[in-house]
Amino acid sequence: MCGIVGFVGKSQAAPILLDGLSKLEYRGYDSAGIAVRDGDAEPVVVKAKGRLKILAEKTNDGAAVKGTCGIGHTRWATHGEPSENNAHPHCSDDMNVVGVHNGIIENYQELKDKLIRHGYTFYSQTDTEVAIKLIDYYYKKYQVGPIDAIAKTMVRVRGSYALAVMFKDYPGEIYAARKDSPMVIGVTGGETFMGSDVPAILKHTKDIYYIGNLEMARLRAGEVTFFNLDGDEVQKDITEIKWDADAAEKGGFEHFMIKEIHEQPKVVRDTINSVVKDVNGKPELDFSSVGLTDEDLAGFDNIIITACGSAYHVGVVAQYVIEDLTRVPVRVEVASEFRYRNPILPPNTLVVIISQSGETADSLAALREARNRGCKTLGIVNVVGSSIAREADYVFQTLAGPEIAVATTKAYSTQLIAAYSLAIALGKAKGVLSEEKITELLTEMQTLPDKISKLIEEKDRIQWFSSKFANAKDVFYIGRGIDYAICLEGSLKLKEVSYIHSEAYAAGELKHGTISLIEDGTLVVGVLTQSQLFEKTISNMVEVKSRGAYLCGITSYGNYSIEDTADFTVFIPKTDEHFATSLAVIPLQLIGYYISVSKGLDVDKPRNLAKSVTVE
């Protein structure tokens, strides 16, 4: 939610800020702004409603705004409609404090009332203006420096935030603070860069500092100093980011989403290779990078998986796979419910949190809830150094690289590998999977990248089919067992990028209401990868067909009579049925993508959505 950048150095700040914001636009894109300072002069603030390109045009790509120190923001509105007035940066009336903010200040109304009593007036509807004016208030009231003024503000506000602030009296300096919202800093060649996420600064440096929770930082040209809430200096280690800067560029593809779909064979292979090692010509699971030993795993009697959106859908797949392979009971729950439900967490429960960003507010809160209740936690996380990665007891680092499109594809696919690996590791530790079975599963898992490549080659056919449904009103996805879990993801992929209403149904549930929604020509996608359930789902497809549905079948069973039933079929290569999601999801991602393209929509930045949901 919202993206923040900052720069102080020798170069002109505005073009660097705009470039950094372009890498963060996936976090929010309803308005944007920058504040740039030229030496001691007051910051020049430029804001624009709408996409970043409007701000870029307004500032002549930054050339019109001079100065070597500045902050920038791309917004996903929470408090106050998207407008130039509500866009960040916000400032105190005398320009003493100018700042940008990501997150939500929960007690902003109470703080606003307090500030009004002290003579402050407000020009916007944002909670950010309140935070900035509160810093100004403490700075002037206590006659303290920036760090103390920010610390006093941090103690007073409730909620989540990442803040970047400039003070009139401190030219050439930017101050940052965070609680539960991410912020990274890089120092190189006498210049200092700041961003909400690694891609914003990756082209400048791969050596990153993470500001810890409830910590602050002071940025000067080529220098950064960290402070705790008491104002004491804190030493930090540098984390080297292995991501390639090109990975955050489109590289010739029209959209990030299709580029990331194409990256799946590689990132799935990389993630498999991180935990499957070749030992004497045989694949063996090695969980040392995760930090979980066989002894640890054998001690868990229950697994609870909690996550949001697509990561939750991975959890649903994992539930089927882990229970079937290990007979260890698994419960999967959306994190926003888990955190407020007073869940029962039996002894010896492992709580697994799945998250691409590692910053999703509800998932992070669920992790903290589990830890407070004494459970061990495993984070399956893509972003190195993210909050979930730092706070979980064990971390399975997925190797998807930077994912920019709002709709996840490659991160989802790598999370599946983590889920399968966890199932196999658990089965091994519990002694319920034989050595032969483990070798068979791992060998099969290693074939997935090539099979994914084969499916991506089907894209032209899928594009042809998808373009017919640009005007669809409703689409339904049906399947049973793991196929139902696949449908959940296929349906989300379609609706989030194409704005077509779609729903996933356990195929057996159709007759309990949903079937009344089927009309002539309604597209129903049946997913059939589980041999035991194939005929059952085919029957459900026939039922909707006889009520007018247009049928698409995604199946691995070419020898059955699917083509007699479905109007369009994508055959997926054979694999162990536990791993079928990794293959069946590819045509579903492509269907979502191509329908969105044929409607001429902004595939990578669908309306109202943000990639990283750091507010509740």
Query: Total residues at the site for ligand M6R (CB under 6 A)?
Result: 16
Identify the residue among 363, 522, 555, 581 touching ligand M6R (CB under 6 A).
363
The dihedral built from the CA positions of residue 588, 591, 510 and 544, taken in this order, carries a sign that is negative
Tell me, yes or no, if 2 is annotated catalytic. yes
For the CB of residue 88, give the shortest distance to ligand M6R in the complex, in Å. 22
Orientation angle between helical segments 410-429 and 435-456, nearest 10 degrees:
170
First to last CA, the chain: 10
Orientation angle between helical segments 580-598 and 459-467, nearest 10 degrees:
50
User: Does 127 interact with ligand M6R (rule: CB under 6 A)?
Assistant: no
In order, the DSSP letters of 163-185 are EEEEETTSTT-EEEEEEBS--EE
Q: Which C-beta is closer to ligand M6R: that of 408 or that of 581?
A: 408
Q: Which C-beta is closer to ligand M6R: that of 411 or that of 554?
A: 411
Q: Which C-beta is closer to ligand M6R: that of 65 or that of 366?
A: 366
Q: Which C-beta is closer to ligand M6R: that of 166 or that of 504?
A: 504
Query: CB–CB of 118/77 below 8 Å?
Result: no
Contact map string, positions 466 to 505, toward ligand M6R, x by CB under 6 A: --------------------------x---x---------
The single-letter code of the amino acid at 495 is K
Residue 468: both structure tokens together: 């017919």
For the CB of residue 598, give the shortest distance to ligand M6R in the complex, in Å. 19
Q: Which C-beta is closer to ligand M6R: that of 218 or that of 259?
A: 259
Identify the residue among 59, 96, 102, 357 touching ligand M6R (CB under 6 A).
357
- Ordered strands of the 215-220 beta sheet: 90-91, 97-105, 159-167, 174-179, 215-220, 223-227, 233-234
Catalytic residue among 2, 69, 308, 487: 2
Instruction: State the Cα–Cα distance between residues 529 and 578, nearest whole angstrom.
Output: 9
Identify the residue among 184, 276, 361, 406 touching ligand M6R (CB under 6 A).
406
The three-state secondary structure class of 476 is: strand
Q: Which C-beta is closer to ligand M6R: that of 187 or that of 311?
A: 311
Instruction: State the Cα–Cα distance between residues 128 and 78, nearest whole angstrom.
Output: 10
Tell me, yes or no, if 250 is annotated catalytic. no
Q: Which C-beta is closer to ligand M6R: that of 352 or that of 492?
A: 492
For the CB of residue 546, give the shortest distance to ligand M6R in the complex, in Å. 33
Instruction: State the Cα–Cα distance between residues 63 and 76, nearest whole angstrom.
Output: 26
Instruction: State the Cα–Cα distance between residues 579 and 592, nearest whole angstrom.
Output: 21
Instruction: State the Cα–Cα distance between residues 34 and 32, nearest whole angstrom.
Output: 7
Contact map string, positions 298 to 337, toward ligand M6R, x by CB under 6 A: ----------xxxx--------------------------
Catalytic residue among 430, 459, 605, 611: 611
For the CB of residue 407, give the shortest distance to ligand M6R in the complex, in Å. 4
Instruction: State the Cα–Cα distance between residues 115 and 437, nearest whole angstrom.
Output: 66
User: Does 408 interact with ligand M6R (rule: CB under 6 A)?
Assistant: yes
The three-state secondary structure class of 500 is: coil
By Cβ distance, which residue is nearest to ligand M6R? 309
Rounded-to-5 percentages of helix, strand, coil across the chain: 40, 25, 35
User: Does 596 interact with ligand M6R (rule: CB under 6 A)?
Assistant: no
Query: Would you mind telling me the total number of residues written for the chain in this entry?
Result: 616
For the CB of residue 415, give the shortest distance to ligand M6R in the complex, in Å. 8
User: Does 263 interact with ligand M6R (rule: CB under 6 A)?
Assistant: no
Q: Which residues are catalytic?
A: 2, 611
- Would you tell me which residues interact with ligand M6R (CB under 6 A)? 308-311, 355-357, 360, 363, 406-408, 492, 496, 612-613
